[in-house]
Amino acid sequence: MLTLDDKVKDLYKNPVGHDIIEKLLLTMGKSSFLVKNPIVSNMKLETLVKLAGDKISYDFAEKVMELVNAEEDIPVMQRGKISKRWWKEAVFYQIYPRSFLDTNGDGIGDLRGIIEKVDYLKDLGVDAIWLSPVYDSPNDDNGYDIRDYRKIMAEFGTMEDFDELLKKLHEKDMKLIMDLVVNHTSDEHEWFKEALRDENSKYRDYYFFRKGTKTENGKNLPPNNWRSFFAGSAWNYYKNEDIWALHLFSKKQMDLNWDNENVRNDVIDMINWWLDKGVDGFRMDVISLISKKPELPEGDEKIGEMMGITGIENYYYGPHLHEYLREIRARAFDPHRAFSVGETPGLGMEMCKLITGEERKELDMVFCFDHLETPGHGKYEDYEYDLNYFRDFIINWTENYGDNRRMALFYDNHDNPRMISKITHNKELYEPLAKLLALMQFTLKGTPFVYQGEEMGISNYEFTSMDQITDVEGKGTYAELLLKMSAGEAFHTVVSGTREHARVLLPWNSTRLPEHEGLDVPVYPSVTKCYKDLIALRRSDLAFAYGDFYCISKKKDKFVYKRSYEGREYIIDCNLSGEPIKAYNVGMVWELIYTTGSDGDMLAPYEARIYKLT
């Protein structure tokens, strides 16, 4: 049991303590060397709290200690013994159906569009598809608000279309994983409707219904101070019933109460229903949030300020998280030999280790997001991302995550602007930059997840007005920003971070939602070719999936590393900057087998090369 009498280094040794310290440093824009400094690391926690003044209150410290002491396990580290699995060798491709390919001219991508492109994806070298939600939904959050888990969204097509897609993929020896959104359902889901209509219904306890807090002057306040990820309170008030219900996301995405075993049974039945159909696994939406502290305690305002959301310490690594993950695995995934990758926003490496250790029987993999912004920067900031940070992040994970775990390698997804636009504002460099990112992604130790359009070199769109922003998060953020700044500034901020960038229809053809009419970005056939060549190269040698990683150089703007496996060796030489720099001198025995530029003494801006030991 840790107390404030212990030292900073003791806290850092605990997985939760480690990740909390790292997260704090990241938000403050400080390096983790700070904790390793003996003066800091030997400091008593109590002294640190005192020194921090009003930045860290005793309340705050106590909340942290509570979280830390709730996790007794220490991750098991295994080196050198990597089990072989299809999903470690595969290249995944994420499809956000709504903005993939529209085949009937309504401006909305559909399942037939995906079926049409299976050959293209096969040709690109993709092994598995992760399909963002295609279930019936009122689309408050584009399908992440599910009304019926066993029905296909009408705009996307029919169950027959879905079956055809699955069949076609399997015929081509490709896999399909679905998106599992079970932290919440739509408020239009039968369970929620029934729960709201009848307080004695068995579904009432499927959600978090609570009475409000009545103040002396007769005001009816939400049951607690938790905020939603999409702005505003995390509670929606139902006037007729005089009751509030919890929603960590939009007010049409109602949080399920996982402590109710009927919820778990129903969800697990549903998962098995899809697995019986033949899908190969699931990406699990915000799965780390499913276990909430049952009393739903007030959120600490200081933690809220730091993490950008009040209440988070009460559910982002909840008391039964491990238990529920094991239950899903044992009752659904394992019997079907299905694959699972969890979306775990907010969790750092040590906590991810406890969720993905092979021996722990929880998840196969997770998505960690700590590499998406450089230290001290937030999602909605307009800045240039420094790839030196990405390099250090990768080295740290590759060296310390352990060989009984697998890292997901990704830059883009449907929740973020395009990475190449974040790294440089110089559009002339997008083409080489897109190739550099691909080259690292396919030669590093982990499983690559490509987001649709990355293989075309797609960058951010130039939105000109809020009318073009259809996303619930973008709109909510805009409304909140308007309270603090001018409309112009608020728009600029939203555009810097909006998820909409990733959600405009891919430019295969010209149909667009009316809001997105006229929005286009260049596509680069040479980038697509590069993806294809690199995926083929990756497939040609298991060294890329399983080989040892060794960092040769991490000088500023440089990333040189070696991959080696069963006597075969590769050196990868990368220029992380928009300026030419000297190429790594590999020596005579190395043959250049791939370059995104030339083979000269200098690497052009963002150029990267692969050499093989002859």
- What is the contact surface with ligand ISL in residues (CB under 6 A)? 141, 144, 181, 229, 249, 285-286, 343, 345, 379, 414-415, 473, 499
Q: At what angle do helices 349-356 and 387-400 cross, to 10 degrees?
A: 40
The secondary structure of residue 97, as a DSSP letter, is G
- Please state the separation of Cα 43 from the chain's center in Å: 34
Q: Confirm or reject binding of residue 22 to Ca ion (CB under 5 A).
A: no
**H, E, C per residue of 410-450:** CCCCCCCCCHHHHHCCCHHHHHHHHHHHHHHHHHCCCEEEE
Q: CA 114, CA 137: separation in Å to the nearest integer?
A: 19
# residues near Ca ion by CB under 5 A: 5
E strand or H helix at 115: helix 111-116
Nearest of 548, 560, 352, 539 to residue 445 by alpha carbon: 548
Span interacting with Ca ion, options 110-118, 180-188, 453-461, 515-523, rule CB under 5 A? 110-118
Q: In this complex, which beta carbon is closest to Ca ion, that of residue 108 or of residue 608?
A: 108
Q: In this complex, which beta carbon is closest to ligand ISL, that of residue 245 or of residue 286?
A: 286
Q: How near is the Cβ of 308 to ligand ISL at its closest, in Å?
A: 9
Pick from Ca ion, ligand ISL, none: which does 379 bind, CB < 5 to 8 A by kind?
Answer: ligand ISL
E strand or H helix at 213: strand 213-214
Pick from ligand ISL, Ca ion, none: which does 104 bind, CB < 5 to 8 A by kind?
Answer: Ca ion
| Contact residue for Ca ion among 108, 128, 131, 534 (CB under 5 A) | 108
Q: In this complex, which beta carbon is closest to ligand ISL, that of residue 232 or of residue 278?
A: 232
Pick from ligand ISL, Ca ion, none: which does 6 bind, CB < 5 to 8 A by kind?
Answer: none
Q: In this complex, which beta carbon is closest to ligand ISL, that of residue 186 or of residue 575?
A: 186
| Contact residue for Ca ion among 110, 327, 373, 412 (CB under 5 A) | 110
Close Cβ partners of 216 (under 8 Å, ≥ 6 residues apart): none
Q: How near is the Cβ of 138 to Ca ion at its closest, in Å?
A: 17
Q: In this complex, which beta carbon is closest to ligand ISL, that of residue 343 or of residue 362?
A: 343
Whether 534 contacts 442, CB under 8 Å: yes
Pick from Ca ion, ligand ISL, none: which does 106 bind, CB < 5 to 8 A by kind?
Answer: Ca ion
Pick from ligand ISL, Ca ion, none: which does 136 bind, CB < 5 to 8 A by kind?
Answer: none
Pick from ligand ISL, Ca ion, none: which does 102 bind, CB < 5 to 8 A by kind?
Answer: Ca ion
Q: In this complex, which beta carbon is closest to Ca ion, that of residue 114 or of residue 545?
A: 114
SS3 of residue 360 by DSSP: helix
Nearest of 356, 350, 313 to residue 66 by alpha carbon: 313
Q: CA 268, CA 212: separation in Å to the nearest integer?
A: 32
Whether 462 contacts 519, CB under 8 Å: yes
Pick from ligand ISL, Ca ion, none: which does 47 bind, CB < 5 to 8 A by kind?
Answer: none
Q: Confirm or reject binding of residue 106 to Ca ion (CB under 5 A).
A: yes
Pick from ligand ISL, Ca ion, none: which does 480 bind, CB < 5 to 8 A by kind?
Answer: none
Q: Token pair of 174, please?
A: 């490709």
Q: Confirm or reject binding of residue 102 to Ca ion (CB under 5 A).
A: yes
Span interacting with Ca ion, options 11-19, 108-116, 278-286, 401-409, rule CB under 5 A? 108-116
Q: How near is the Cβ of 187 to ligand ISL at its closest, in Å?
A: 13
Nearest of 503, 504, 501, 608 to residue 557 by alpha carbon: 608
Place of tokens 């505003």: 232
Phi, psi for residue 373 in degrees, rounded to 5? -130, 145
Span interacting with Ca ion, options 40-48, 105-113, 248-256, 336-344, rule CB under 5 A? 105-113
Phi, psi for residue 70 in degrees, rounded to 5? -75, -20
Q: CA 521, CA 469: separation in Å to the nearest integer?
A: 16
Q: In this complex, which beta carbon is closest to Ca ion, that of residue 110 or of residue 473?
A: 110
Whether 402 contacts 77, CB under 8 Å: yes
Q: How near is the Cβ of 576 to ligand ISL at its closest, in Å?
A: 25
For the annotated catalytic residues, the residue numbers are 285, 343
Total length of the chain: 614
Q: How near is the Cβ of 351 to ligand ISL at its closest, in Å?
A: 15
Q: CA 22, CA 389: separation in Å to the nearest integer?
A: 14
Q: Confirm or reject binding of residue 428 to Ca ion (CB under 5 A).
A: no
Q: In this complex, which beta carbon is closest to ligand ISL, that of residue 379 or of residue 538?
A: 379
CA 577 to each of CA 18, 385, 580: distance values in angstroms, whole numbers, following the listed order = 31, 11, 8
Q: In this complex, which beta carbon is closest to ligand ISL, that of residue 281 or of residue 547?
A: 281
Q: How near is the Cβ of 273 to Ca ion at its closest, in Å?
A: 26
Could you tell me the maximum CA-CA distance found in the chain, to the nearest angstrom?
Answer: 83
Q: CA 204, CA 210: separation in Å to the nearest integer?
A: 10
**Binding track over 44-83 against Ca ion, x by CB under 5 A:** ----------------------------------------
Pick from Ca ion, ligand ISL, none: which does 345 bind, CB < 5 to 8 A by kind?
Answer: ligand ISL
Q: CA 323, CA 329: separation in Å to the nearest integer?
A: 10
Q: How near is the Cβ of 278 to ligand ISL at its closest, in Å?
A: 24
Q: What is the binding site for Ca ion (CB under 5 A)?
A: 102, 104, 106, 108, 110
